[in-house]
Structure 1
Amino acid sequence: MSSFKSHTPVSLTIAEKLGWTLAVADAIRATIQKSITASIYSPSTLPPKPVQVNAAVIRSMFGRTNTRQAQAKMAPSVDTYMAWFKLKPQLGSSYEPAVEDICVDGVETRLLWIGKPWKKTDSANKKVLLYCHGGGFILPLNSGHCSFARVIREEIEKYGQECSVAILEYSLGPEKQFPVPLHQGVLALNHLLAAGCSPSNIAMGGDSAGGHLTLSILSHIMHPHPSVPPVLPLSSPLAAAILVSPWVTFDQSAPAFAKFGREDYVTPHLLRYWGEEAIGLEAPAAELAAGRYHAEPKRAPESWWQGMDRAVKFVGTTVGGREVFLDDVLEWEKSFRAGSGVRAELYVGPIELHDGPLFDFGSGRPPSELSLKAAQLTWEGFKSKL
């Protein structure tokens, strides 16, 4: 395995260590406060109590810390992946950790496999989900992403369909900013194509920033970004793109931000900060001025998506009914559906917050309807070839 890592944890200053300690203390306060209030008042229209508590903790922690502090406390993606395999649910599984390093012209990335890696000797019908994890492009993979990927794989295999998930380990901001993750995602897709995996057997997917990256790759197929190598020629469209609460714009003016901003764990302040760390202050305007919408798919005109049916056969999107991205995702999905000609399906989880599937595993609850719907949408994309 190469020395490549999603990020290099830094040594915190004394002030940053103190700040982290105070943030942890406030997170404990938020846990107690939300546990009490959710016990007193928690109607069926709100998320379950464990989700409300987790959201309050995340909102508290990330509202009081910076990227350096978060990355110093979080292991690189590959290390989290290896540790996840040692947890009880994975012990005795039919597959082992498998890491594939990719390096092209000095640009490195990595695939972290859940299920057996694709090989040229595999069945011509084996499916692969190339998964891009969320985290605002500044947080690495967490164990919840791995568990969610495992659930998708297991749900698909219930239909008798062999499937493996390849999680993309990409570089994080601010050390590496857009379009570096797009470049790495393209290298990963090209790696699968060059290995002989048919496009019709490949689905791409991601949550939050990972959904953004998935859309960036689709845009790149039809509108190559000048800073990124092209995707290898597709002999057929990709099977599917699965988007969970995709981050489709850096703007925070949609009504859902005001309506759910005190409930969801993603706040306008946090999104502004993560956006600046992930892409920089001037890049969004520069991309739009150049007529490119890889970084902000919601701002793309319908014409941008024309011909997308040559790149992907099916796009499935899920979004929380109580999350700040709700309005933006609905508006983007409507525009995409009208302009692309791609078969699409949208599911709104009525009481879910942003990136609901991660709360299933972070809150210790079984897979929710939204998580299972994401797996079903993946299967919908795959089965259209069968």
Structure 2
Amino acid sequence: MADEIEDLKALFTAKPRPTSWAERRQRMDEICAIDPPPDDIVFSPATIGAMQAEWSLGPGSDARRVLLYFHGGGYCSGSITSHRGMVGRVGRDAAIRTLAIAYRLAPEAPYPAALEDALAAWRFLRDQGYAPGSIAIGGDSAGGNLTLALMLRLRAMGEALPAAAWLVSPWLDLRMTGKTLDSKAAIDPLISRDYLTGLAAAFLAGHDPGDPVVSPLYADLAGLPPVLIQVGSSETLLDDAVRGAAALGAAEVRTTLEIWPRMIHAWMLWSERLTAGRAASDHAARWLRAAFGEARG
């Protein structure tokens, strides 16, 4: 396992870091989708207004249950393509359908564009006949932030909430006060304080980073459905996940926190190369199956 993660880290450093937004987006698609998704999963396009989306369905899966997924990328990059393998694998193993969306990206579309698109995707699923208890929401990094932001928006509007939420390496504090941003800086090959500072500035466009709407760590989290948080021990965002789990637990939300030794940011993206990626995906799939079972009961 140690060799697997070191080989992956070497991949990340093989080329210089891109600088422009277009180069960053291209590089993320290349590196995150370096391996094709499992070939037994059917992917099909969808549109939600002007927004592109993609369904996935594995053999024998129950299309009446769905995971709505928001990709990571700091609200500035990432795509359906970059996260296709990760999302499809978990959906297949959970025996459910998935819907991934291409929400608008900053800096061209700063806050609240992504949240508006997430709400549109929720409305789309409801219009398709999915009951809230048949929907789970998930996301990694900024997508984890967006997952909580959408549930908080739904709660504020008095709407029923999804059955469960799945957060992978979530970025929950855009004020960036987590201690591991510095203590893990030497071993995290992907995420640095300077990198996040640029992403936050592009996304916020002057909005207060301490506003709970954009930093769910500071929100009142009471009343949310069960949450699974998975994070790697080698991440600068480890503290966001740990503090997020504590805040959810303090708000009486049933919360499961998994810290995976030696793993990096959103390591399940590279499950074809990482034994721990496949294991973490399997944990998430089993947790989602159980959460849907409880919602039905």
Q: Shorter-normalised TM-score: what interval? A: 0.7 to 0.9
CA distance in 2, matches of 1:266, 1:140: 14
Name the counterpart of 2:52.
110
In structure 2, the CA distance between the partners of 1:335 and 1:89, relative to structure 1 (3 Å rule), is closer
Matches within 5 A, 1:306-385: 306=222, 308-309=223-224, 313-339=225-251, 341-361=252-272, 363=273, 367-384=277-294, 385=296
Contact 2:221 2:248 in 1 (8 A): yes
In structure 2, the CA distance between the partners of 1:249 and 1:193, relative to structure 1 (3 Å rule), is same
Matches within 5 A, 1:120-159: 126-141=64-79, 143-157=81-95
CA distance in 2, matches of 1:268, 1:364: 26
CA distance in 2, matches of 1:66, 1:344: 38
Q: Which amino acid aligns with 1:69?
A: E
Name the counterpart of 1:18.
none
CA distance in 2, matches of 1:353, 1:278: 23
CA distance in 1, matches of 2:100, 2:93: 17
1:187 is the counterpart of 2:120: yes
1:270 is the counterpart of 2:182: no
Name the counterpart of 1:14.
none
- Among 115, 122, 135, the residue aligned to 1:202: 135
Name the counterpart of 1:240.
164
| Percent identity over paired residues | 23
In structure 2, the CA distance between the partners of 1:315 and 1:261, relative to structure 1 (3 Å rule), is same
1:196-229 deviation line (CA, Å, top 9, x unaligned): 11111100001111111101101111235xxxxx
Q: TM-score, normalised by structure 2?
A: 0.87
1:154-209 deviation line (CA, Å, top 9, x unaligned): 2112xxxxx11100111111100111010000011011112211111100001111
Q: TM-score, normalised by structure 1?
A: 0.68
The offset of 1:271, in angstroms, is 0.5
Q: Which has the larger radius of gyration?
A: 1
In structure 2, the CA distance between the partners of 1:179 and 1:209, relative to structure 1 (3 Å rule), is same
1:70 is the counterpart of 2:70: no
The offset of 1:136, in angstroms, is 1.0
Q: Which amino acid aligns with 2:135?
A: I
Contact 1:130 1:165 in 2 (8 A): yes
1:123-147 deviation line (CA, Å, top 9, x unaligned): 8x82100011111111132645111
Q: Which amino acid aligns with 2:227?
A: V
1:51 is the counterpart of 2:8: yes
Where structure 1 has 5 or more consecutive residues not aligned to the other structure, the ranges are 1-41, 117-121, 158-162, 225-230
The offset of 1:325, in angstroms, is 0.8
Contact 1:244 1:374 in 2 (8 A): no
Q: Which amino acid aligns with 1:183?
A: E
The offset of 1:274, in angstroms, is 1.1
Name the counterpart of 1:254.
178
1:321-367 deviation line (CA, Å, top 9, x unaligned): 1111111221121111111x322211111111111112334x47684
Contact 1:356 1:371 in 2 (8 A): no
CA distance in 1, matches of 2:13, 2:218: 30
Contact 1:203 1:240 in 2 (8 A): yes
The offset of 1:65, in angstroms, is 1.3
Where structure 2 has 5 or more consecutive residues not aligned to the other structure, the ranges are none
CA distance in 2, matches of 1:220, 1:370: 29
